[in-house]
Copies of this chain bind each other. A is one copy, B any other.
Amino acid sequence: MRAMLASASFAPSVGNAQPWRFVRLRSPGIRDALAAHVEEQNAHAAEHYAGQERYEHYQSLKLHGLRDAPELMAVFCDEHPQAGYGLGIATMPEMLRYSCVLAIHNLWLAARLRGIGLGWVSILDPSTVKAMLDVPVHWSLIALLCIGYPVEECDTPELERCGWQPREPWSDRVFER
């Protein structure tokens, strides 16, 4: 975890502000509360597919590993970092959040190099999760991560394998002006 976090911190960031804040979640009480919250939010999300063929399919998907993953981590963005002195964020403050995503991607790649998997859970209410974790008011939640050794290895994304959404040709997403 230390080596992975060190790799994450080599991500580029706007103004070199390094606005990522990694919170390792080690309390069993927090784990239980997060799992219960995500399961509740997931039940709401499932209703979106009610009456569709996809309803059963959605219900069968594994969308978090909060009860099983050996390591849980929340990643926050400091929306008002001193570092960077405001460079590059006057008109696009979201660059701070995007910098945190770059750090998460570094962490993800550093994990995969070690045979470790990472799942990014987004079926949650960010303000509820933030309140659970008692962090500074100017931090915003970017990600809740489940980290551990995967049950199986596969180069094809799970949502592609199970028929939810295939990968589409990259050239369909490239345009010119």
Q: Which residues of B contact A168 (CB under 8 A)?
A: 18, 83
User: Known contacts being A21-B173, A102-B101, is A159 close to B16, with CB within 8 Å?
Assistant: yes
A69 at interface, CB cutoff 8 A: no
Q: Which residues of B contact A16 (CB under 8 A)?
A: 157, 159-160, 164-167
Q: Which residues of B contact A44 (CB under 8 A)?
A: 90
Is the interface on chain A under 10, 10 to 19, 20 to 34, or 35 or more residues?
A: 35 or more
Q: Which residues of B contact A30 (CB under 8 A)?
A: 177
Q: Which residues of B contact A159 (CB under 8 A)?
A: 15-16, 87
Q: Which residues of B contact A171 (CB under 8 A)?
A: 5
Decide: A23 and B164 in contact? CB cutoff 8 A: no
Decide: A87 and B101 in contact? CB cutoff 8 A: no
A66 at interface, CB cutoff 8 A: no
Nearest residue, chain B, Cβ from A125:
B91
19 A–B contacts from the bound complex (CB under 8 Å): A5-B170, A5-B171, A14-B122, A16-B157, A16-B160, A16-B167, A18-B173, A23-B176, A24-B177, A26-B176, A83-B168, A87-B164, A89-B122, A92-B124, A92-B126, A98-B101, A102-B105, A105-B105, A133-B177
Told that A26-B176, A84-B165 touch, could you supply 13 new A-B pairs with CB distance under 8 A?
A8-B170, A9-B167, A12-B108, A17-B165, A21-B173, A23-B176, A45-B87, A49-B85, A54-B85, A83-B165, A92-B123, A92-B126, A134-B177
